[in-house]
Amino acid sequence: MSRFTHQVASYWQQMLSVMRNEFRSIFTDAGVELILVLALIIYATVYSLAYGPQVLRNVPIGVIDECRTPTSRSLIETFNAGPNTYVAYNPTNMEEARELFFGRKIYGIVYIPSDYEKNLLGGSQANVAIYVDASYFLMYRQVFQEVVTSIGTTGAMVEFQRLIAKGADIPQAQATSQPVIYQSHNLFNPYLGYGTFVMPAIIMVIIQQTMLIGIGMIGGTWREFGLYRKLCPPNRKRMSTLPIVMGKALVYGMIYAVTTFYILGLHYRLFHFPMNGATSTILVFMLVYLAACIFLGIAISTLFRYRENSLLLLLWTSIPLLMLSGVSYPREGIPDWLFNFGQIFPSSHGVDAFIRIQTMGASLSEVLPEIRMLCILTLIYGGLACIGIHFVIDRAAKDTPVKSLKK
């Protein structure tokens, strides 16, 4: 047997040993199994159920009607006509309305003054005050949009009736009371659903974070119990770097291939999220994205001496990474240095590419810059993983293990 063939056979034997041990470590450790196998499914399901209604409906508001006329009552009826708001209370004064507002019984107040009908029908400007809870943006948007639209529609109807009373014909009155008619087309998210907006980004971040934490826990276990020496073949003094890295990467790749297949297939259909991307484009993207996340996880795992370190040091990074991706907060509002820092993580490129593919239907060529960056990160983190594993193996070869592997 030639030296090259012998080396290949040795690498193959070591890689299979690593893969067997990795599968055993994952599926005999409840904590790691929960994070690496089940967390993606659990988190995606919980978030999707929470955002299942997609659009916030029936937000309670209070209306103070100082006018108490048929005109003001007609305006109040329009607030109940739409799906976004309903008049839950009719407080008699602002003090009562303030108590309801701060008691979280209503999320908006509409104040109709006593001279509302007089000014409206007399041709003068009628004022209506709106107080909306801006601490909760979804509530704010629904209340403000519904109330302003209702007031605008009411004003246009009054103007139309006034023109008809003055002798104008119907087309002329319509053109004067509503000079511009616009048509709104909501692309890629026709119902303006919050779940459709946020879930693609959350899924990409969950994939990365569960992988980093889970791989970090396994890496800490390897060092804590001296597995780098225990798995070394009898005829070798130490394990080789490449079989360890590739063996680990293949195990995690197989596990996440199954979970992401469920998420992007069945889960997306169950919750009616948009699926506009071509299957081939999604496969290429997910292959590169998973590879970048896996090698980043292996590289980081070499820094942990104990399994608990991974959970303690990485759990808090999920929300900052979601923000750095430019989804939860516009990229233009993030300082350049901070945004550029976020580009070293696969999630920043993965979130952007996945939204464009799956939600907007982008082709492979249109997301090629993001895929190219993920390939670069894969090479960089793959190299760092090999370097990290090499140093860990050297350290393990010099140290005498003080703990035995748990049965």
> Domain 59-177 carries which CATH code?
3.40.190
Question: Distance between CA 176 and CA 185 in Å, rounded?
Answer: 25
pLDDT of residue 407: 39
pLDDT of residue 404: 42
pLDDT of residue 256: 94
Give residue-wise pLDDT tens across range 346-392: 999 999 999 999 989 899 999 999 999 999 999 999 999 999 988 88
pTM assigned to the model: 0.81
- Which stretches of the chain score pLDDT less than 70? 1, 123, 158-166, 169-170, 173-182, 228, 230-238, 397, 399-407
Domain spans of the chain, in order of start: 3-52+193-398, 59-177
Q: Of 215, 181, 281, which Cα lies nearest the Cα of 36?
A: 215
pLDDT of residue 232: 67
